[in-house]
Structures are given as structure tokens and as C-alpha cells.
Amino acid sequence: MKVIGKKTIRVDGRALVKGKPVFTDDVEIQNLLHLKVLRSPHAHARIKSIDTSEALAMEGVVAVLTHEDFPPHYFTTAGQGYPEPSPRDMLVLDSVVRFVGDRVAVVAAESRELAENALAGIKVDYELLPAVFDPLESMAGSVVIHPEQGATGIHDAKRNIAAHFNVEIGNVEKALEESEHLYEGVYSTPYVQQASIEPHVCLSWWDENDRLVIRTSTQVPFHVRRIVAEVLDLPIYKIRVIKPRIGGGFGGKQEILNEELCAAVTLKTGFPARLEFTREEEFYAARTRHPQTVKIRIGLKPDLTINAMDMNILENTGAYGAHALTVMSVTAQKTLSLYRVPNVRVDANAVYTNLPVAGAYRGYGAPQGFFALEVLMDEIAHDLGIDPIVLRHKNYVRVGDEIPIAKALGEGREGVPIKILSSGLEECLEEGRKLVGWEKIRTEPKAGVVKRGVGVAIAAQGSGIPGIDMGSVFLKMNEDASFNLLAGATDLGTGSDTALAQIAAEVLEVPVEKILVYSADTDLTPFDTGAYASSTTYVSGGAVKKAAEKIKTQLLELGKKLLGVKEATIQDGYVIGDNGERISYREICTRTFYTDEQTQIMATASHISYDSPPPFNATFADVSVDTETGIVKVNKIVSVTDSGRIINPQMAEGQAEGAIPQSLGMALSEYMVFDEKGAPLNKDFYQYHIYTAIDMPEIITKFVSTNEPTGPFGAKAAAEIPVNGPAPAVINAIYNACGVRIRKLPVAPEELLRELSAQN
């Protein structure tokens, strides 16, 4: 490889470090209206009346929109393929509010301050309705959160079940009864927030051709265009969506949260509009990870191989069902794909409550599932007196194994068969074991107040959604042998533009700087489903490889013709004839433009895969537990990943290093707190504690090299897989340190102290 796997400067790196105006808000627009949203102070209420006259009379206020300005068209805010698997249970503005922070009205004014002041001038008369905050209580149906007739796709509205599935392979009850060893556990994970540096921000305006332009911080520009067109009754050809640089998404921007409001104001007033979430709004009005309670039963044969696995998922989707079905589908499918299990069953319910709306967050349900599975596997190993690594070696999937659950359970529809064609999981475990000092820490005496321990967790993920995710590109050549790559794929700051450029450069045998990337503009770039499900490198990269190969074939044929030879090869930007003569890309293109063929060298390609090869990961945690305070300090995290052939080592390391603090936060410090009326209490970074630079442990990230035959140049996904392992590895390390088993995240020092006290 000349480019793949090599140190490569990011295609947007210089612009970013120089502070160039590349983000959504880095444009100046004249006559801009600033938007603010009036949000519900109640968890559940009906709007009896709403008076906007005082607000409209205020100086500088141009418009106030309420539910009376919108027809009752139900949609989902989830940016997913069409038809969406999420319930269509939301209106742009509704006469019923379902959580503290739900949208009541939107004000458009000449400045942000004027818009904020105008919110106080809106008089709302609410009829308070009973609220429910616990999923189990909600399923009893004493409070019905979505009784409306127009909503569709809700599994059981009377019991507040947004989505449900039940899948069984084999005979689980019989297999559990026949098992030599039987274990079970119940594990829960909390509301946590994506905490992107850049908040949700959107601008909209009419261009010179009377077309609506939406410039927005999004992971899914084409889904934005489709959904805005639908809810505002606009033809798609009238809308252009531009995705600039993004300051972090992590799934939270796989959502349509402000684009339709900006567009509605521009439609009503004719003026450009801007809506930016405050940091406080990001916490309660954007999206979060779905809280889940997962119960798992595992039966083992006498040889300690798994005979059966039974999983029950109770998911809190909040007030609306965005991603409700698909997140818990991933929880089940990814978790139950890790080990060889002939008998598998999963029963899952996503339940409405009057709390903030959950959505997509990196890992998309897999972190919740792997927390449960990998902690239970550790419990089993300790009870049986076997090294936890050895137990995993006995049971994880191998090359050649088929994954029955993948066929039975897709994302919102039946899945497709998946067969493991590449795996470096054994190498991941062995490399991590050595790097963390497994044997030494695990077996050393646990003396003193501060006790040290080590834990391990393994995980899998996927590479795109098989049969659903699609990427497409357009590639054209210029006279100086540079190439314009127009890709629908969305770079979230992950460096995917650079990875796609590397794939094209490798095929065409040119330097990466000769590939000029333009991405995610619905007018200029071809369709792409968006940046989620770890799909960009694998799926969109497949499209780039196809298009570049077409260009290479054109260059070869044109070169042979211009050289007057029958056979030729390509090397380092030249076509070399079998007579030894050569012609450069530059000359081929120039002559093709102006004198010989007079045509454009160009190609398009689309790619969809019915494979979704799992990347694998082994994560090791070295922790210290202060038994007098209950404080857990993470000393070291070792994360070793099999992502196939790595396209860009620096970016892959960055993905792992960025995922680890998110998982550590869920394990030890992050959770959203609500009062007895459902109001959020910790709405800033002073009270909501993410891991920062001063909190970080030593991190060692490694990648083992495998070759995935279905991926571009052997690549698999790298973005989500490292987020699954740190939390369970830390919990398992805590047990190794002090003998306390935690089954509810995050770890509360007081709970740890209670458990320690109970031991004495």
C-alpha cells in the first residue's frame, strides 16, 4: 500500500488549526432572525390556550409560531432510512407537551436578546396531566402518553410501549434446564448526554433562485431534506441542505431538531433564520442515550461453553420514540453476536415516559448490552474459579461462524445472514493482557486502604446496516491530474473525508493532496444515508473504491490509445505502454479535454453491502479503589481493536481515544438527574461531570491487523467499537480490587461503601 495505512495529513487539518470559518455558524447573513423556543415547564400538560399578542407587540419581534400554525402532520425526528422504523409520534408544535422542555412556541426576533425577552410575553394556560417517569409503571397504562389518533408505528399506545420485539432461536427454556451451570443478573444504565462541543445550530434562507437553503450541523443531510420537505409540504427540489464542518455529533445529530423550525420561520417571514441550542437545552431538549435495564440468563455446558442465553430489555425512550426500536435491536443483535450460543432468546420493550427524549448515541444500544453481558461473564468466571480471559476464549465467535441472530433481528426489519470472515479477537485479548499486566495485578494481594484491580471486557459492533445503508460518489479529473471527489458521506470531525481521499488516492496511485473532497451538500453531492452505524469507511468507502477503479480503467484505455499500444500498465500517475513509452495523467487529461477525445474523465458509483463485518475489541482496565471514600480511580485503559486493515492509523487511534472517556463517564460520573416533577437538575458541565483531560487515565490504544474481504482494502469499522468495553472492564476491575460487584451505572461511592461495609 502506498497511501492506505500511512501517516496522512487530514484534508481539512490546516483549515481547522488556522481557525478558518468552516463550521455551521461561521457565515454572516444580513437581516437574520434569531429564534428561541418556549419550552414546557411541565412534564405532561395540555395547552388550553396560548396568547402571543404581547410578544408580537414587542419591538424587534417578527413572528411567533405555535401549534395553531402547523397542520397535524406526524413525523419522527430520527434521521433514518425511509420508511423509518421509528414511530411517527411527533408534531412540529403540539397542543400537548410530554416532558419538561418540550416545544411550545418559537419566537423570531431581530436579535437573540429580543427573542429571549419575548418568551416571557407568551401566555400559556396549561391543563396539567398526570405524568409517569418509570418505564415499569408506565407499562401499567394508568397514564397514556400518546393517545392521539394520528400517530403511527406505536406498538401499544395504551400501555405506552413505543416498540417491541421477541425473537427466539432454538429452544431456550429447554437448553437452560439442561445446562450444567445457570447464572443471571440484572443491569441498568442511565440517561447520559452526547456533550458535543458544538451545540445544535441551524441557519436557513432563500437563495437567489427562491430555493430554501438549510445550513446545519447534522449527521444526516439527506434525511433532513426529506423530512423538512414532508412536514412543511415543500417539494424536495426547493430545498438544499449544506453540512459544513461539525464540532462533534456522536449520534446526537442524527436527528431533525431545529431544521424544520428554522425553515418554517423563513417560509413565513421571508427572512433568514438562525436557531442555536444553549448548553442547557442540549441536556434536556436534544437527545440522550437510552436508559436500559437488561436482564440476562446464561446456561453453560459442563465444558463451560455457553448453551443458552436469554435476554430481556426494558428501554426508556422518553416522551417520543425516536430510535426506540432500532437502539434496542442493536442492544440485542450486537451483544448476542459475540459468543457462540445455539439457543438464544430476547424480549424487548421500549417504553414512553414523561422524561427527555432518548436517541442515537455512539454505540447505539451496544454499550448498554455489553455492560450487562460482560459483567455477567466476569461473575461466571469468578464463581467457577476460571480466568475471565479463558472463559471468553472458550466461547467467542470464530472465522467461519454464522450469526443466526443477525438474520432474525435486523434494525427495524428482518436482518440478513452474516458470516464471520475476519477476526483478530484472540490477538486483541493476548496483546491487551500483556500490555495491562493482567496476571500480576489480578493475583497480587489486595492489602491496604487503596486496593488495585484489573478487569477485562470484549465486544463486537458492525460495519454499517446491511441491506440498508448506501453511499454514492462522483469523481472527476482535472488537467493537472487532480481529482474532485463529491461524496454524500458526512464527516463529523472523524476524518472520514480524509479516509475517502486515501481510498481514491490508493486506487489511482496519486498523492492524497490530489484528491479534493466535497461532502454532504444535497445539491452538489450524490445521496448517502448519513454518518451513523459505523458505515462511512466501509459503505461510502466502497463506493469511492468503485468510482476510482472506473476512472483508472478510463485512464488506462485512453493512455493505450494515445500511446498507440495494445497493452499498458499504470504506475505512479503514468500509463506505461508495452513498448516502454509512457504518458502522464496530466497529458492524458489535457489532450482528452482539448484535442483528442474531448470528453470529461469521470465516474459515479454507489455501494450497498449485505455484509456487516463485526470489528472486535478487548478492553482492559487497571483501577484503584479507595475503600474509605468509595472513590474509584482509573489508572490505565488498554484498548486493542480489530478493525481490519486500518486506513488511517492516526484517525483510528483518535476514534479509540475519544470513545474511552465517553464510556468511562457512563461508568463513573455521568448521569442525568430529575426532580419529582421530571425537571432536569444537572444542566451544565459544572453539575454534569464528563471526563476531561485532568481526569483521564493512561490510555494505550492498539490495532491488530486483519483483512476483511468485503471491505475497501480490507477495512472494517473503527468508530463505535471502542466505546463498548471500558465501562464493563472498569466494573470488573472494581470487583477484582475489592470484591464489590456493581450492576447499576454510574458507580456511586456511597453504594460502593455500603457494599464494602456489608462484607465486614
Q: In the chain, what are the domains?
A: 33-129+197-248+253-284 (3.90.1170.50), 292-465+611-759 (3.30.365.10), 470-608 (3.30.365.10)
Three-state DSSP class for residue 214: strand
Matching residue, cell 467461519: 400
The whole-number average pLDDT for the span 126-133 is 98
> Per residue in 426-448, pLDDT tens?
999 999 999 999 999 999 999 89
What is the pLDDT, as a whole number, of residue 501?
A: 97
- Kindly report the backbone phi and psi dihedral angles of residue 176, in degrees, each rounded to the nearest multiple of 5, phi listed first: -65, -40
Each residue's pLDDT tens digit, 510-535 = 999 999 999 999 999 999 999 888 88
pLDDT, one tens digit per residue, over 68-101 is: 999 999 999 999 999 999 999 999 999 999 999 9
Q: What does the pLDDT read at residue 411?
A: 81
Q: Which three cell numbers stand for residue 286?
A: 436534544
Query: What confidence score (pLDDT) does residue 416 get?
Result: 87
Burial of 55 (0-12, 13-18, 19+ CB in 10 A): buried
Query: Cα–Cα distance between 102 and 90 in angstroms, integer?
Result: 11
Tell me the pLDDT tens digit for each residue of 669-683: 999 999 999 999 999
Q: In whole angstroms, give the CA distance from residue 563 to residue 719.
A: 45
Question: Residues 322-360: pLDDT tens digits?
Answer: 999 999 999 999 999 999 999 999 999 999 999 999 999
- Strand ranges, E, within 57-200: 61-65, 96-97, 103-109, 123-128, 161-169, 181-189
How much is the pLDDT for 268? 97
| Distance from C-alpha of 530 to C-alpha of 571, rounded to nearest angstrom | 34
Q: Measured between alpha carbons, how far is 253 from 243 in angstroms, rounded to an integer? A: 11
Question: Is the pLDDT confidence value at 422 over 90?
Answer: yes
Residue-averaged pLDDT of the chain: 96
Name every residue whose Cβ is closer than 8 Å to that of residue 83 and which is 6 or more positions away in sequence. none
Is residue 207 predicted with pLDDT exceeding 80?
A: yes
- Whether the per-residue pLDDT at 387 is higher than 80: the answer is yes
With a pLDDT cut of 70, the percent of the chain lying above it is 100
Query: Structure pTM?
Result: 0.96
Mean pLDDT across 111-137: 98
- The residue-averaged pLDDT of 493-505 equals 94
> What's the whole-number mean pLDDT along residues 56-75?
97
Exposure of 583 by Cβ count < 10 A (0-12 exposed, 13-18 middle, 19+ buried)?
Answer: buried
Q: Tens of pLDDT along 596-611?
A: 989 999 999 999 999 9
Average pLDDT over residues 397-424: 91
Q: Which long-range contacts (CB under 8 A, 24 or more apart) does 117-120 make?
A: 117/58, 118/36, 118/55, 118/58, 118/61, 118/64, 119/36, 119/38, 119/55
Q: Residues of the chain with pLDDT > 90: what percent?
A: 95
How many residues are recorded in the chain?
A: 760
HSE at residue 21, side-chain half, CA atoms within 13 A, is 4
Residue 415 is predicted with a pLDDT of 82
261 and 37 Cβ atoms separated by less than 8 Å: yes
The confidence score (pLDDT) of residue 531 equals 87
